[in-house]
Every structure is written in structure tokens, then in C-alpha cells.
Chains A and B, each alone.
Chain A
Amino acid sequence: MLNGLRYTYPGSSSPFCLELDSLRIGAGDMLALVGPNGAGKTTLLLILGLLVRPSQGILAFFGEDPWGSDDRILRARREAVLLTHHPYLFKGTVYENVAFGLKVRRIPEAEWPDRIGQALSLVELSGVENKSAAGLSAGQTQRVALARALALRPRVLLLDEPTANIEARLALRVEAIVHEICHESGTTVVFSTHNFSQASRLGDEILYLSDGRRVPFSHENCFSGTAQTDGQRSWIEPRPGSRIVFKGTQKGHVTCVINPEDIRLFSADDPAAGQGPNVFPGHVTRLEMTEADKALVRISGGLTFRVTVPLPELEAHAVSLSRPVLIKFEPEAVGLIGPASDSPENTND
């Protein structure tokens, strides 16, 4: 559990700051961290792995303050393992690498071969025990590092983009392993990803971070594309002529997410919509009452959006099925996921 967390890099002139009011991760839960590069995902994983101490706030690890003493932090750290984005293997053989954590925990040497064999077999790397770690491919390195973590049977497994460097078939295998150890062994898993569909598929909960802060997560209005920038603003064109503008100078493949509540609806002839960026024409193709005083409206045009509209506004604009409308949202309202190594699915239908 984290409360009032704040972390700034010591001695750094970078303005980056991770701030989380509260975060509770239940034992045996699987939490997905989603957000663009620099959002604070890795920093949060380092904090959860007890490798860096928060500048402010309270961190309770299985109900205890782990930073109380050197002994306590070492004991707590041995309950959690972080698998970094680009894992590091020590010089030596695969066996020596996987045995490292067992050795420092003083687990009897007689148990090593079984545990190492099982862990390597899980990641489909049986028989490479005596190979030099330096000669492995990036994908094999990733899997050996995962085996090295699994051999320790940790209570908390922290994975920083665990499938980023491996081919699709093995990525699915890694997903299956992570799912299995979480649900069968009760291991708490926190993983970061750019892959939107992976987060939805695996995570019991999803924490969406942007610029060091939690931002509301929505499955609605997700659009992917290659970002371009003019130095002040950036945009993607999910379809020719349909440009979504957002703040910042992001480049590369990104997924834009717009919260349905941040989109405003106007009649097609309403001059209040103006000519600014992110004004899209469309027709109402679905109307759905979600809460007592709100409706979810699907607007289909060049792109399809879902918009949450308060009922009085719906009546004021006389919105009805098939009626032409305009929608508008501010560039600041666009959340970003990515750049992605594999393309997230566009959940918009």
C-alpha cells in the first residue's frame, strides 16, 4: 500500500516527479501499469521493489514499513523481485545466474538443481544451464532473467515490459506463466506495458500513469497511429483527414485515449463548436442510458467516438439517433500510451 507517495530523483535537475495519492495492491492481485515513456512506470516498479526509497509518503509492504532498518529492508526485498526492461545477466553460465538469488538467500545447495531446472523449463529453456550467459540472444536473456526470478518463488513479482524483447509466440507463453503463478501460487504481480490489450487481458486492475500521475483510465476512444509534431503540438491521423491533436512533442507509435466525459457534443450547426483542433463531425449511431442523469452516445463519422453527455445537455442539443452532430475535445484531454513496441488494439468499433 502506498499513501501520499512522492518521488523525485535525488540531485537531478529533471522536473520529473512521481506522485500518487494512494495505491493499494492486494496480495495475489495482478496490476498493470500503462502509460507513455517517462510516465513513471519504471520508477514506481523500483519503489515497489524497494530499490529506491520514496522521497515522501508511506509505503507499507505486507503491512509493515520495510524501510525501518537495514535488516528489515533486506528481508522485505527478498520477498519481491524486479525483472527490468533490459535484464542484466551476470558473467558466467545460465546456471550460475539462476542460482544467484538462491545463493544469497542461503538456500541449501541440494535444492538448487530442481528449482533451477523447473524455472528454466517453465520458460522453455531446459538444457542451457551450462551455456555462457554472454552468448544468449535478447529473447533468451529475457527468459533466463524471468527464470532467475521464478526460481526464487517470490511473493511479489515486478515486471518492467516483460514481453518487449521477445517474439510473439514466446510473449504469449510469458503471459501464460505470469498468469499461472499469479492465480495458482498467489504471487502478487505488477507489470508495466505499452500494450493496451495485454494490460486489459492480464491485469485485474490497470493503473494508467501519465507524467508521473495517475490519470483516469478509459477503454473508450482509443486511437493508434504514428505521431508527428510541429514542435509545439503533436498529432496522429488514425484515418486520412481525421487528425487528433495532443499536447507535447511525442514521436513514434502512440495510442491516444480520450475520456468520454472530456468530449463535448454540439449540434451540427452550432457555431460554439468553433474551428479549433479536435472538432469532428458525425452522426449519432447509438444512445445508451448509463446513469440516472447521463447517457453514453456513440458518434460515427470518419472516426467513432463515445461521449458521455448529461441528460439536460442531450435535450438542449435535441440529440437523437441519426442526427448529425459535432464533437470537440481539448488537446490537453488526450492521454497517451506509447510509443509502443507492438501495436495496441484499437478498441473503437
Chain B
Amino acid sequence: MIVRELLLAIWVSLKTSGLAALIASLLAVPAALFLAGTDFRGKRTVLLINQTWMAAPTVVIGLLFYALLGRSGPLGRFGLLYTQTAMTIGQVFLILPLIIGFSYTALRQVDRRARLTALTLGASPRQAGWVVLREAKFALLVAVLAGFARAISEVGIAMMLGGNIRNATRNITTAIALETAKGEFSNGVALGAILLVITLGINVLVQVGLRSKE
């Protein structure tokens, strides 16, 4: 595997997973804020579905979007199958419940008086929501980083929706799968090490965040 191909695979991994983590966070954190701050009928069911969705295998999500994005699927006309966009969409749906679940727990742990205090000091409901988010910022950061780590390390969705196309949708995990299938175990191990270094970087970020929290 030449260096250019390797760098491109790393770039595809970082780009699709980073974008997926960003989009999923923008959807998941407000959803978690709503769930944590509102009591409504069916809330337990919503949480149960979210928890179940968290355990969904990546290949099942890959298969679902394969059926949706494939040429004969309802979204086939957009021609997204085997693109980085398709990989990102799949990963968003993979990590969305994870970030919702972690964020929900983080926001539930924020003292309930925080919102009340903000409101009585003159904050609008939106400003009070920001206060609650700010009080949980490090725990929310952990949620987002966990989502990113899950996206960058998965292989099922990247393989099924990206197709492992050289210099286009091949990322680190699909490259590992390919190198292993070819019998190039040393390349596979090296790529695995690179993935671990990236994961280590994420964990260091989390630790730094937690230390600041203390």
C-alpha cells in the first residue's frame, strides 16, 4: 500500500467519522436536552428504543441504508451508494443513539437547580438551556468523542455503503479488512496501529477534558 493511498484512507476515516460525529451531535444534544428537561407520555419507550438502537450491529444499519440508497431503493435516484456521503449518513445513524444516551445521562446529572436559578436570574428558556449545557460540557464532550470513536472504528457501514473503493471510499478499517483478505497481515497490523493511535489521541482529549472538569 503506497503512502498516498494510506494517507487518503486516514483522511477518509477522519473526514467521514468527524462529519458524522458533528452532525449526530447537532441532532443528539438538543434531543437529549429535550428528553432530560421534559416529562411526557411515552418517554420511557423512547429511551428504551434508543437503548436498543445503541446495540444495533453496524452491518444491520449498513444493510438498511444499502436498501434505501441502492439504485432500486427509495433514495436511489440521489446516487449516494458507494460514496463518502453514504458512509457519513450511515455512521450518523450508528452513533446518534450513543450520543443521545450519553448526553441524556450527562444532562440528567446536572443539578436541577441550575435551570431554575438561571430562569430566576432573568435568563430566557433558551439561555437557561445553554446554562444546563455549559454545566455538563465535559460530560457532553465525552459523549461526542465516544460517538466519533465508535464511527472511526466501525467497518460494516463503511464496507457496505462505501464499497471500499480505492482512493475514494477506502478508509482505515476497510483497508485493514482488504489487507487481511489479501494475506498482507503486516499491512493490516500497521493500519490497526494507526487506528489505535488515533483512538489514543481521542482518549487523551477526553482525559484532558475530565482533568479540567476536576
Contacts and interface: CB of A to CB of B under 8 A. Distances in A.
Interface of A: 11, 49, 51, 74, 77-78, 80-82, 84, 86-88, 90-91, 100-101, 104-105, 148-149, 152
Best-surrounded residue of B121, B123, B127 (most CB of chain A within 10 A): B121
Contact of A88 (B113, B123, B124, B127): B113
A81 B134 contact: no
Contacts of B113: 84, 86-88
Contacts of B131: 90
A86 B113 CA distance: 9
Contacts of B118: 90, 100, 104
A84 B116 contact: yes
B122 A88 contact: no
B111 interface: yes
Contacts of A152: 121-122
A326 B131 CA distance: 62
B167 interface: no
Main secondary structure of the interface of A (DSSP, over half): loop
Main secondary structure of the interface of B (DSSP, over half): helix
Contacts of B186: none
Nearest to A98: B121
A88 B118 CA distance: 10
Given A90-B135, A91-B134, A77 B127 contact: no
Contact of A104 (B39, B123, B135): B123
Interface in B100-126: 111, 113-114, 116-124
A49 B124 contact: no
Contacts of B122: 74, 77-78, 81, 101, 104-105, 152
A49 B120 contact: yes
Tier of interface size on chain B = 10 to 19
Nearest to A154: B122
Nearest to A92: B134
19 contacts: A49-B120, A51-B116, A51-B119, A51-B120, A78-B122, A81-B121, A82-B120, A87-B113, A87-B117, A88-B113, A88-B117, A90-B134, A90-B135, A91-B135, A100-B123, A101-B122, A104-B121, A152-B121, A152-B122
Nearest to B41: A11
Given A88-B113, A88-B114, A104 B127 contact: yes
A51 B121 CA distance: 11
B124 A90 contact: no
Given A87-B117, A104-B127, 19 more contacts: A51-B119, A74-B122, A74-B124, A77-B120, A77-B122, A81-B121, A90-B114, A90-B131, A90-B134, A90-B135, A101-B122, A104-B118, A104-B121, A104-B122, A104-B123, A105-B122, A148-B121, A149-B121, A152-B122
A69 B120 CA distance: 17
A41 to B, nearest CB: 16
A51 B125 CA distance: 11
Contacts of B124: 74, 104
Contacts of A88: 111, 113-114, 116-117
